[in-house]
Amino acid sequence: MSIVTVNVTQTVAPTPSQLQKNGAMISQGGTTAPPGAKTLVTQPSDLTAVLRPAVALASLAQVAGLATGTLKSTTIAAGTYNTDTGQVTLTLTASIAALPGAPVTIAAATGTGSFAAIDGTFLADAGSVGTTLKFTIAAGLTMTITGGNANASLGRANGATFWTTVSGATQAGYNLTALATVATDKTFTYAVAGATVSPATGTPAFLMPGTVELTQMSATFFAQGSQQAVYVLELGSATPAQGVDDLDDWIAANPGTFYSYLVPRSWGGETTWADYLDALDGTTAKTYGFTTVTVDQSAAFAGAKAAFCVVESPDVPSTEFTAAGPFWVTLNYAPSSTNRVTTLAFAYLSGVTAYPLAGNAAVLATLKAAGVNYVGTGAEGGISNTVLFWGTTMDLRPFNYWYSVDWVQITGSQAIANAVINGSNDAINPLYYNQNGINRLQQVLATVMSSGITFGLVLGNVQQTALDASAFQVAVDDGTFDGSTAVNAVPFRAYTAANPSDYADGVYDGLSVVYTPARGFESITFNVNVTDFVTQ
């Protein structure tokens, strides 16, 4: 028998939350991933591996410098329908080059029963290849399918614009990366040299909407550095409005997955996206949308805490997606004592184009007043680098303000929960609901706020107080803690006297923090007095 018995308890440190490091670039049909899938991208080649390949065109011709690309179409030879799953399987007369996830349009279907239900635009299911086309409609119908028309579709509304790359034409004048316009569900137009031979010969093909834009996002994102990864969230080919609905559904099903989203340019003019971000005005929302807007579009996002809006330079090249620059900077924050959080205003950006200053003073002043961001240079400070102006969300607060608020919530709640769990398993020094237990939890929160000061997120020094709720509020209102960070814990006896049922339920609602997020300078004035008066 041993003389000494050793009891060992274990304190497990919390794993830091990675929420504020995780962001997603939104794709609407730009990849081969199924809708709802997320793909980790650590370098541009990771994205290349999942990009949707070029789609063969049925024809490509130009008139007066406006080229028209026409997607492939054919007739339906036969079809079947699974009443249990709702999947339609069509045998086509010829291939329309529709791979899984690509939009397809069915029209003028023939048959018996509910055959008209297959008319419309759908996303091709897995198993679609060659002359076999599969897609899913409502289940429980009865029908036979004997004919109709099928064509590859752009999946965008007429008049919508998208970046594309056309290749494979024998005439080099067609082979461009250009901003195209949707003419019909199966035709698009873009500008070429008027002397280009028409029609094109060879095997012309194009990249579907969203594909080139994803490469722009990736190129600009990784131009900032290689140490930060990002996800691509595929929502499937659809209109911007449907994309907003799809993202809303995805977030509801996957809460707390991503801190911020870099969205397609087309969402800047989508009112439902502005409304969605406006609704995320709660201080606990922790979700942000990095959105490219025009000057006119920005008004729809006014006041939205969750909206980080960027106006691109009119000279932006076809390889750039400007908003990806500040998106990278915010995801790359890694708060620590040796890597303090810098302000987003005037952050260096690479691979982006500065908004021209000449003749645009009024426009830039309007953008600043509205909280809209743009790229400029550090020329005023004798620095040639491109930098971000002004680093604010659309409620006119610095992004770092909300980043700090989110960090305190995430880190503080995790630290307190960790102390409770460890204290519940510590036989040497268990955590009880008494004054000593409250003191321990207060110290945990005070330590978090001290770290926030060290990390460049919190202003002032920490003061720990033990006031009842009303006295603490009076002290706050009187400015007692101005410039400091107050961590208050209502004493055990005062709290249980005021909330007699909480002790029986194990509830303590007496911890409070009042603090000011750290921020940087944006405007400096210094005064100069010049005199010719000489004193002896």
Residue 88 corresponds to which amino acid?
Answer: V
pLDDT value of position 536: 59
Q: What whole-number distance in Å separates Cα of residue 271 and Cα of residue 296?
A: 12
pLDDT tens-place values along the chain, 536 residues long: 788 878 777 888 888 889 999 999 999 999 999 999 999 999 999 999 999 999 999 999 999 999 999 999 999 999 999 999 999 999 999 999 888 989 999 999 999 999 999 999 999 999 999 999 999 999 999 999 999 999 999 989 999 999 999 999 999 999 999 999 999 999 999 999 999 999 999 999 999 999 999 999 999 999 999 999 999 999 998 899 999 999 999 999 999 999 999 999 999 999 999 999 999 999 999 999 999 999 999 999 999 999 999 999 999 999 999 999 999 999 999 999 999 999 999 999 999 999 999 999 999 999 999 999 999 999 999 999 999 999 999 999 999 999 999 999 999 999 999 999 999 999 889 999 999 999 999 999 999 999 999 999 999 999 999 999 999 999 999 999 998 999 999 999 999 999 999 999 999 999 999 999 999 998 899 999 999 887 65
- Which helix or strand (DSSP H or E) is residue 493 part of? helix 492-498
pLDDT value of position 178: 95
Category of 144 on φ-ψ map: left (φ > 0), alpha (ψ -120 to 50) or beta: beta
Q: What is the dihedral of CA 501, 504, 505, 510, to 10 degrees?
A: 60
pLDDT value of position 6: 81
Q: Which residues contact 456 (CB under 8 A, 6 or more apart)?
A: 335, 340, 341, 342, 518
pLDDT value of position 14: 82
8-state DSSP, 143: E
Note the pTM of the prediction, 2 decimals: 0.92
Q: What whole-number distance in Å separates Cα of residue 467 and Cα of residue 161?
A: 60
Pick from 459, 457, 478: nearest CA to 467? 478
CA distances from 360 to 1, 116, 149, 346, 355 (A): 88, 54, 51, 19, 9
pLDDT value of position 1: 72
- 134 CA to centre of own chain: 31
Pick from 195, 179, 205, 183: nearest CA to 62? 195
Contact predicate 408/458, CB 8 Å? yes
Structure tokens at 410: 């995430």
Structure tokens at 135: 């897609």
- 113 CA to centre of own chain: 44
Contacts 24+ apart (CB under 8 A), 273-281: 273/240, 273/244, 274/300, 274/301, 274/304, 274/307, 276/244, 276/247, 276/248, 277/301, 277/304, 277/306, 277/307, 277/394, 278/303, 278/304, 278/306, 278/307, 280/304, 280/305, 280/306, 281/305, 281/306, 281/395
Can you point out the beta strands (E) in 334-385? 348-349, 374-377
Q: What whole-number distance in Å separates Cα of residue 366 and Cα of residue 372?
A: 9
Q: What whole-number distance in Å separates Cα of residue 294 and Cα of residue 261?
A: 18
Question: Facing residues of 179 across strands?
Answer: 163
Contact predicate 67/196, CB 8 Å? yes
Structure tokens at 336: 């620590």
Can you point out the beta strands (E) in 176-276? 177-184, 187-191, 202-206, 230-234, 260-262
- The bridge status of strand 260-262 relative to strand 288-293 is parallel
Q: Which residues contact 133 (CB under 8 A, 6 or more apart)?
A: 89, 90, 92, 96, 98, 104, 124, 150
Q: What whole-number distance in Å separates Cα of residue 96 and Cα of residue 71?
A: 8
Question: Facing residues of 202 across strands?
Answer: 169
Structure tokens at 105: 């349009």
Helices (H), 188-263: 211-223, 240-253
Phi, psi of 25 (to 5 degrees): -90, 125
Q: What whole-number distance in Å separates Cα of residue 30 and Cα of residue 267?
A: 15
Residue 411 corresponds to which amino acid?
Answer: T
